[in-house]
Structure formats: C-alpha cells, structure tokens
Amino acid sequence: MKLPPLRAPHPRFSRMGLLILLVAIAVVCWQRFVPPPTTTESWDPTYESYVRHHGKTDLPTTAHDIRFVWADCGLSGHAAVCRFEAPLDDLRAYAIAEAKRRTPGAEIAPRLVKMIEPARQPDLTGYGIRPLEWFDVERIEEGLVLKRTDKREPFMWVDARRSVLYAYWTN
C-alpha cells in the first residue's frame, strides 16, 4: 500500500509560527537575563564631602546634609532622588538653573510657584528605590514647587520654612 505524499504546510503559517516562537524566546530571555536595578545611596554632611564622594560640583557650595540615591535599570531607565539643605536664595537659584540645564532650548522658562496642594513621595519602586525616610516632602508646610513646562524637567520642591530642597528625576 502506497501512502499519499506529504504536503508542506502553507509558507505563511510556518513563518508566523517561527515569529511567535522567536518572540516567546526573547521575552523569556529578557526576564531571566536582564539584571535587576542597581541603586546607590549616599549621605554627605558637607558640600566638600559630596564633591569628594561624587566628583560633581553641581550643587550650591552652601549645601549640607546632602542625601542622594541613583538607580540604574539598564534599558528601562534611570532615576535619581536628592535632598539637601542650603539658604533659601541658593535653593531657588539651584532649582531654576537645574531645570534650565535639563531642558536646553525650552520655549517656556521654568519658574517656582507657591505650593497649593501637599506634595507626596513618588513611587519609584519600579526603579528599585524603596520609600525613603529622608525624602519627607509630606512635611512641607510652606513651600515652592517647580512649575514643570517640559517632561524632561525634574520634580522639585523647596521647603521655605526649613530651607530644604527635594528633587527627583526619571528617564
């Protein structure tokens, strides 16, 4: 008895199956081999120790009690959280200068406005940053907030009573 010849599957279906298989393999590899977010947290009591530790001079020279967290999630993005104390005029100048630095060529100049509603600590657990005890923006009784005009600008609050600046950036 002679068997009928086998017919090859339709080419479109075999390509579709191969594509689905490749996507499934890519998803599994992504989940298993992408490293978890790495975070670095630091506390520097003075501006000088901040410069020694980070090699950066981007904060006002009058800054002290500097707290900083940096999270690197690889292709998923980055996040930074910062809190420091300085005289109120220095905090205001830093907030505006930092917003301008992060949004070169922005059409609308950044500005600080009086806070109307209370601030809330951001949820940055997706970046590997747990809730931070020292990022206590909820304690601001009288303050200013950076009026964001561009999504690249950081979120910033200035506590006018305690002379503290709080900021975070994500990308």
Span 98-120, pLDDT tens digits: 888 877 776 677 788 888 888 88
The residues, any chain, with a CB within 8 Å of residue 77's CB and separated by 6 or more, are 127, 170, 171
Tell whether 77 is covered by a domain. yes
Residue 60 lies in a domain: yes
In a domain, 121, yes or no: yes
Count of structural domains within the chain = 1
Domain membership flag for residue 79: yes
Q: Which domain holds residue 101?
A: 38-170
Q: Is the pLDDT of residue 130 over 80?
A: yes
pTM equals 0.74
pLDDT band at 24 (very low <50, low <70, confident <90, very high): confident
Which class for 168: exposed (0-12), middle (13-18), buried (19 or more C-beta within 10 A)?
A: buried
pLDDT of residue 164: 95
Domain membership of residue 19 (yes or no) is no
Q: Which pLDDT does position 137 carry in this prediction?
A: 92
Mean pLDDT of the 152-163 span = 88
Residue type, 65: D
- pLDDT, position 74: 73
